[in-house]
Structure 1
Amino acid sequence: MRKLSLSVATLCLAAQLSTAQIKLPSPSPGATVGQTLGTTDFSITYSRPSLKGRTPFTDAFVPAGKVWRTGANGATAFTTSTDVMINGKTLPAGSYAILSIPDKNDWTLIFNKNKSVTEQNYKQDEDVLRVQLKPTTTGEKLETFTIGFSDLTDSTAKLNFMWADVKATADLRVDVSANAAANVDKAVAEKPDDPAVLQAAASYNLSKGRNLDQALSWIDKSVAAKETYRNLFVKSQILGKMGKYADALPVAQKALTLGQSSNDAAFSFFKEGIEKSIAEYSTKVPATPAKGAKGKKKA
């Protein structure tokens, strides 16, 4: 009788804690991993089960060859701020649930549009993307399931799924140039009269040799709003890039004069570049005959 009373009391206590929404330790604690790749932001939120003496991807624990939520508790969530190539296939920007079908020699990585999906309510027709991964044996035993990013460049990375002595990896690739250009165009569309935004956008186009006529239009608006040695220097560089050295030279000279009188400590980082531009443009501008000079008489 006493044992029954204790069981009832335990159940009541658990119910009360649940109702009160008191945060208690979880056997599979939650985790969030974020990563920026170029201009793309990734976020993964998942729960991390531990082995506790068990062997995953067997019939007894996380069965091989069957759909798995790729974590514990709720669905594993994946968000990308831009389109991303995963093993050569495009996943559109957005939020998804990650599932997988782990097997000894082959994993299927799944991105599903049902963000609350479980193994029980999973529907393949809600998949947005499926890619195949080749698992490897690491030789080291990892107690707790881990998702992470590695081998980062400005446009590529690896997305790793690791547990026990198994590691499955997907290759990620983003189009940094296209994403950056889209961000520039969006910024100008949102703040078309902001001198700083216009200068930054013009500088980006200049750095990429992209649509210099548009860049010149943007920097002209920036200069008209507030003339500084910085936006004048950018304008001179754009004109020089367009081969308009006679127009670029006086703009660069004015940028140097304004910079020298600006009392801006940052000018020292620009001064050498402006002076080099002036020297370069001077060599490419045809000499102008002095006033009153007469041409030689024909023989």
Structure 2
Amino acid sequence: MHKLSLTAATLCLVAQLATAQIKLPSPSPGASVMQTIGTTDITVTYSRPSLKGRQPFTDSFVPLGKVWRTGANSPTMLTTSTDLMVGGKKLAAGSYAVLSIPQDGNATLIFSKNKETTEATYKQEEDALRVNLTPAELPEKVETFTIGFSDLTDSTAKLNFMWANVKASADLRVDVNANSAANVDKAVAEKPDDAAVLMAAASYNVSKGRNLDQSLTWIDKSIAKQETYRNLYVKSQILAKMGKYAEAAPLAQKALSVGQASNDQIFPFFKDAIQKSITEYTSKVPAAVPDVKAGKGKKKA
């Protein structure tokens, strides 16, 4: 009986091992690369085949003129957190399967709405976007297929595909101002009574010169909840932006006084800017004009 029990346990273990998903080395290991451009997060997830003595873009290995999943194993995926311009064309926020058609001297980059599509199931009517690329020759051979980002600014980047002696790049661009403004409005909508959020939102708006009346409402609400040198200074900036220097100057002076009495370790970083603003606002306050100028309006003796 004891022997039979051991045999049954062994059979169960064998069955478990046979059905379990065991992680083993892959000839084309998975990879993920994430890049933030401005306020936009872009993530590419793909598998990386290696040359291993082969030459890609030939009839026998990733043939020219045919759809390729732009990697190996599962479909290559790109996710963008906001709308994105790729090669001057709009790609809406979301996730897409990335395919391509390599050609001799050019290539077509495809973003498919069907996130499960591969070479065998690809349908052009499921395309979200197609962009033409011009490959360039690399000075050194890249053994393992690589996707990455380069030439980064606060609103642009290049999405690079590199393998063997070939590199193809897509120009990316995001609308940083529109995205930031949307983030500001969303933050206030989600936390309309948060003094810090209201101040930050008003501060962003005044830096861009947008929605000043709304920003004034936000900063007044922030001050009412908790008056600080920072929100007082932001209000002075809004008023100055509106041309109300006579109101902005004393408010900036109050921000300076509150800051000096606050013992806030961050205040020294604001002090010079506040003092400079006081000087600027004061210089722009119109001089008082007397109702009756000297020598005029007086009766003769």
Residue number in structure 2 paired with 1:157: 157
2:182 and 2:72 map into 1 onto residues whose CA distance is 37
Residue number in structure 2 paired with 1:98: 98
Residue number in structure 1 paired with 2:4: none
Q: 1:286 to 1:57 in 2, by over 3 A?
A: closer
Residue number in structure 1 paired with 2:255: 255
What TM-score comes out, normalization by structure 2 length?
A: 0.90
Residue number in structure 2 paired with 1:191: 191
Amino acid at match of 1:47: S
| SS in structure 1 at match of 2:265 | coil
Amino acid at match of 2:266: A
Q: 1:167 to 1:23 in 2, by over 3 A?
A: same
Residue number in structure 2 paired with 1:5: none
- Measured after TM superposition, the shift of residue 139 of structure 1 is 2.9
2:203 and 2:27 map into 1 onto residues whose CA distance is 52
Query: Deviation digits for residues 188-243 of structure 1, max 9, x if unmatched?
Result: 11111111111111111111111211111111111111100000000001101111
Amino acid at match of 2:24: L
- Measured after TM superposition, the shift of residue 71 of structure 1 is 0.3
- Measured after TM superposition, the shift of residue 280 of structure 1 is 2.0
| SS in structure 1 at match of 2:220 | helix
Residue number in structure 1 paired with 2:231: 231
1:281 and 1:130 map into 2 onto residues whose CA distance is 53
- Measured after TM superposition, the shift of residue 282 of structure 1 is 2.1
| SS in structure 1 at match of 2:138 | strand
| SS in structure 2 at match of 1:71 | coil
- Measured after TM superposition, the shift of residue 288 of structure 1 is 6.3
The percent of aligned pairs where both chains have the same amino acid is 73
Amino acid at match of 1:135: P
Superposed structure 1 runs of 4+ greater than 6 Å apart: none
Matched, 1:120 2:117: no
1:247 and 1:46 map into 2 onto residues whose CA distance is 58
2:277 and 2:163 map into 1 onto residues whose CA distance is 57
| SS in structure 2 at match of 1:207 | helix
1:224 and 1:186 map into 2 onto residues whose CA distance is 21
Amino acid at match of 1:206: V
Query: Deviation digits for residues 91-111 of structure 1, max 9, x if unmatched?
Result: 000000000011111111000
Q: 1:89 to 1:17 in 2, by over 3 A?
A: farther
- Measured after TM superposition, the shift of residue 117 of structure 1 is 1.0
Residue number in structure 2 paired with 1:86: 86
Q: 1:274 to 1:18 in 2, by over 3 A?
A: farther
| SS in structure 2 at match of 1:90 | strand
Query: Deviation digits for residues 71-101 of structure 1, max 9, x if unmatched?
Result: 0001001000011111111000000000001
2:18 and 2:171 map into 1 onto residues whose CA distance is 41
Residue number in structure 2 paired with 1:142: 142
| SS in structure 1 at match of 2:161 | strand
- Measured after TM superposition, the shift of residue 121 of structure 1 is 1.1
Amino acid at match of 2:207: S
1:144 and 1:28 map into 2 onto residues whose CA distance is 9
2:284 and 2:99 map into 1 onto residues whose CA distance is 62
2:238 and 2:190 map into 1 onto residues whose CA distance is 23
Which runs of structure 2 are paired with 1:169-248 in the superposition (5 Å)? 169-248=169-248
- Where structure 2 has 5 or more consecutive residues not aligned to the other structure, the ranges are 1-13
1:15 and 1:56 map into 2 onto residues whose CA distance is 40
Amino acid at match of 1:44: V
| SS in structure 2 at match of 1:50 | coil
Residue number in structure 2 paired with 1:52: 52
- Measured after TM superposition, the shift of residue 157 of structure 1 is 0.6
Give the root-mean-square deviation of aligned CA atoms.
2.1
Query: Deviation digits for residues 51-81 of structure 1, max 9, x if unmatched?
Result: 0000101111111110000000010010000
What TM-score comes out, normalization by structure 1 length?
A: 0.90
Q: 1:18 to 1:240 in 2, by over 3 A?
A: farther
Q: 1:18 to 1:92 in 2, by over 3 A?
A: farther
- Measured after TM superposition, the shift of residue 19 of structure 1 is 2.2
| SS in structure 2 at match of 1:197 | helix
| SS in structure 1 at match of 2:96 | strand
- Measured after TM superposition, the shift of residue 171 of structure 1 is 0.6
1:43 and 1:236 map into 2 onto residues whose CA distance is 41
